[in-house]
Structure 1
Amino acid sequence: MIFDKFDLNLLKVFSKVMETGSYVKTSEALGISPPAVSIAMKRLQKSLEKELFVRGGGQIQPTAAAKALYQNVRFELLSIETVISAFGQFDPHVSKAHFSLMGPEEYNAKLLSAFAGEQNNGLTYSLMQQASTDEEAIASLRTRMTDLVIDSVVLADSSIESELLFEDRIVLIAAKSNSTIDENLTFEQYQELPQSVLSLRRSGKLALEMFLEDKLEVRRNISHEASSIMANILIVSQTMLFCHVPLRLAIHYQEQLSLKIIEPPISLKPVPVIMQWHKSNSIDPSHIWLRNRIKQILLP
Structure 2
Amino acid sequence: MNFATFDLNLLRVLDALFREGSTVKASARLGLSQPAVSSSLSRLRHALDDPLFVRQGNRLVPTDFAENLRHGVQDELNRIELLLSKADAFDPEKAEGHFKISGSDFFAELLMPNLGDLLTRTAPKVRAQLVDLVPDDYLASLERYDADLALIPDCDLPSWISREPLFRSPFVVIARGSNPGVADLEDFSEIPIDRFCAMPHVLFSPEGQLSAMGDAALAKIGRSRNVAMTVQVFSGVCRVVRGSDLIALIPAQLAVEFKNSYDLRIFKAPMPMDVVQIVGIWHSRSDNAPFARWMRQQVFDLCRSMDMALPT
TM-score under structure 2 length normalisation: 0.67
Amino acid at match of 2:173: L
1:209 to 207, 212, 235: 212
- Please say if residues 99 and 292 of structure 2, whose CA atoms lie closer than 8 Å, have aligned partners that are also in contact: no
Whole-angstrom distance in 2 between the partners of 1:51 and 1:120: 40
Map 1:236-247 → 2, pairs under 5 A = 236=241, 239-247=244-252
Deviation at 1:14, TM superposition (A): 1.6
Deviation at 1:44, TM superposition (A): 1.8
In structure 1, stretches of 5+ residues that fail to align are none
Whole-angstrom distance in 2 between the partners of 1:59 and 1:91: 34
- Please say if residues 150 and 273 of structure 1, whose CA atoms lie closer than 8 Å, have aligned partners that are also in contact: yes
Amino acid at match of 2:36: A
Go from structure 1 to structure 2 and tell me whether the alpha carbon gap of 1:50 and 1:17 turns closer, same or farther (over 3 Å shift): same
Does the alignment pair 1:185 with 2:184?
no
Go from structure 1 to structure 2 and tell me whether the alpha carbon gap of 1:53 and 1:297 turns closer, same or farther (over 3 Å shift): closer
- Please say if residues 164 and 274 of structure 1, whose CA atoms lie closer than 8 Å, have aligned partners that are also in contact: yes
Deviation at 1:211, TM superposition (A): 7.0
Amino acid at match of 2:238: I
Correspondence for 1:53 = 53
Correspondence for 2:301 = 296
Whole-angstrom distance in 2 between the partners of 1:248 and 1:81: 38
In structure 2, stretches of 5+ residues that fail to align are 308-312
Amino acid at match of 1:45: R
Correspondence for 1:222 = 228
Aligned residues between the structures: 287
Whole-angstrom distance in 1 between the partners of 2:131 and 2:116: 19
Whole-angstrom distance in 2 between the partners of 1:13 and 1:21: 11
Go from structure 1 to structure 2 and tell me whether the alpha carbon gap of 1:149 and 1:68 turns closer, same or farther (over 3 Å shift): closer
Go from structure 1 to structure 2 and tell me whether the alpha carbon gap of 1:268 and 1:24 turns closer, same or farther (over 3 Å shift): farther
The SS at the match of 2:78 is helix
Whole-angstrom distance in 1 between the partners of 2:20 and 2:160: 14
Correspondence for 2:63 = 63
Whole-angstrom distance in 1 between the partners of 2:69 and 2:257: 51
Whole-angstrom distance in 2 between the partners of 1:163 and 1:244: 26
Go from structure 1 to structure 2 and tell me whether the alpha carbon gap of 1:25 and 1:191 turns closer, same or farther (over 3 Å shift): farther
Deviation at 1:231, TM superposition (A): 4.6
Correspondence for 1:142 = 145
Correspondence for 2:166 = 165
Map 1:67-82 → 2, pairs under 5 A = 67-82=67-82
Correspondence for 1:262 = 268
Whole-angstrom distance in 1 between the partners of 2:266 and 2:191: 12
Amino acid at match of 1:54: V
- Please say if residues 27 and 37 of structure 2, whose CA atoms lie closer than 8 Å, have aligned partners that are also in contact: yes
Deviation at 1:68, TM superposition (A): 2.6
Go from structure 1 to structure 2 and tell me whether the alpha carbon gap of 1:38 and 1:66 turns closer, same or farther (over 3 Å shift): same
Go from structure 1 to structure 2 and tell me whether the alpha carbon gap of 1:35 and 1:162 turns closer, same or farther (over 3 Å shift): farther
Whole-angstrom distance in 1 between the partners of 2:158 and 2:81: 18
Go from structure 1 to structure 2 and tell me whether the alpha carbon gap of 1:84 and 1:218 turns closer, same or farther (over 3 Å shift): farther
Deviation at 1:243, TM superposition (A): 0.8
Correspondence for 1:283 = 288
The SS at the match of 2:89 is coil
Whole-angstrom distance in 2 between the partners of 1:77 and 1:114: 27
Deviation at 1:238, TM superposition (A): 5.9
Query: Is 29-38 or 78-87 further displaced after alignment?
Result: 78-87
Go from structure 1 to structure 2 and tell me whether the alpha carbon gap of 1:262 and 1:285 turns closer, same or farther (over 3 Å shift): same
Deviation at 1:285, TM superposition (A): 4.0
Whole-angstrom distance in 2 between the partners of 1:191 and 1:33: 60
The SS at the match of 1:174 is strand
Amino acid at match of 2:167: F
1:37-82 CA-to-partner distances (Å, cap 9, x unmatched) read 2322221222223342334456433223222333543322222233
The SS at the match of 1:180 is helix
Whole-angstrom distance in 1 between the partners of 2:116 and 2:66: 42
- Please say if residues 161 and 281 of structure 2, whose CA atoms lie closer than 8 Å, have aligned partners that are also in contact: yes
Q: Percent identity?
A: 26
Deviation at 1:17, TM superposition (A): 1.9
Whole-angstrom distance in 1 between the partners of 2:76 and 2:134: 28
TM-score under structure 1 length normalisation: 0.69
